[in-house]
Amino acid sequence: MEELNDIISEQPMETSEKRRANILGYIVCVSIIALCVSGVYFFVKGGVDSAQEMWLGMESQKTIKYKDTDEKTVKAYKKAELSVGALDDQLQKFKPVQPYMVINTIENHFKLYADGNKVREGFCSTGSNVLLKSSNSDKSWVFKTPKGIRTVKAKSKAPVWKKPDWAFVEDGQPIPPPNSPLRYEENVLGDYKLELGDGYMVHGTLYKRFLGLAVTHGCVRLNDDDLEAVFMNLVVGSKVFIY
């Protein structure tokens, strides 16, 4: 009787233990599968680069300690030092001796340099990147400020604007003959202009609220004070770097 009681009392214990072990077995198996699959997934997705970098880290370049006593090394080092100095001097020669201007067309910002120092900076307006297509003909114009280096070709005070064809096309007006008086307009370019070639200029503006924005037809517009400073500093032959 006692034995029977023992069996009865032990059976449910054994069943629950088995069940627990089964569940544990499932969990362990599924975890291992998940771990392996995710291991492969992560390795393929991004781990290859890391693994490769790890191998590279193991065999990185051998370096030895610099010894003052090693005459050959000291000599080679000194020679390299001289070479670096000479190359640096060569590079310095590329810097303009004359004052120059740097124009950032993305931020519509300019910097003026003289004697290697920045003497002025401020906002400007540059090309709007508009492609204007004529409605009557196949002609088109791109209004963008050219990137690269330009040279100041000429400077003048109280400039008069000779309106190009696009100025009439843009306003829906008929294009007058090349020397028509209709093409000439005073007091729209400010007090000064600096010509950069191919019709591009640095000049003043009536639309000061647009300074800092890309709104022009390719010229660079400045406010009155900045224009005066640029005009006074830059000479014919000065470089204008546009990016």
Residues 33 to 92 in contact with another protein, rule: CB under 8 A: 33, 36-37, 39-40, 43-49, 51-53, 55-57, 59-67, 73, 76-77, 80-88, 90-91
Q: Which residues on neighbouring strands pair with residue 100, listed in sequence order?
A: 113
Beta carbon of residue 63, minimum distance to another protein (angstroms, whole number): 5
Residue window 103-142: x/- pattern of binding to another protein, with contact defined by CB under 8 A = -x-xxx-------------------xxxxxxxxx-----x
Instruction: Please state, in angstroms and rounded to a whole number, the distance separating the CA atoms of residues 120 and 229.
Output: 8
Residues 6+ apart with CB under 8 A from 183: 162, 163, 176
Beta carbon of residue 162, minimum distance to another protein (angstroms, whole number): 20
184 near another protein, rule: CB under 8 A? no
Single out the segment in contact with another protein by CB under 8 A; choices: 4-12, 19-27, 183-191, 218-226.
Answer: 19-27
Single out the segment in contact with another protein by CB under 8 A; choices: 4-12, 193-201, 212-220, 227-235.
Answer: 212-220
Among candidate residues 183, 186, 187, the one with its CA nearest the CA of residue 173: 183
DSSP letter for 209, please. G
Neighbour count for residue 222 (Cβ, 10 Å): 28
Residues 6+ apart with CB under 8 A from 130: 142, 143
- One-letter amino acid for residue 49 of the chain: D
Instruction: Please state, in angstroms and rounded to a whole number, the distance separating the CA atoms of residues 10 and 98.
Output: 102
Contact between 234 and 152 under an 8 Å Cβ cutoff? The reply is yes
Single out the segment in contact with another protein by CB under 8 A; choices: 145-153, 156-164, 182-190, 226-234.
Answer: 145-153
Single out the segment in contact with another protein by CB under 8 A; choices: 3-11, 25-33, 153-161, 186-194.
Answer: 25-33
Beta carbon of residue 177, minimum distance to another protein (angstroms, whole number): 19
Instruction: Please state, in angstroms and rounded to a whole number, the distance separating the CA atoms of residues 131 and 208.
Output: 23
Beta carbon of residue 227, minimum distance to another protein (angstroms, whole number): 21
Beta carbon of residue 16, minimum distance to another protein (angstroms, whole number): 11
Q: Which of 153, 161, 210, 233 binds another protein (CB under 8 A)?
A: 210
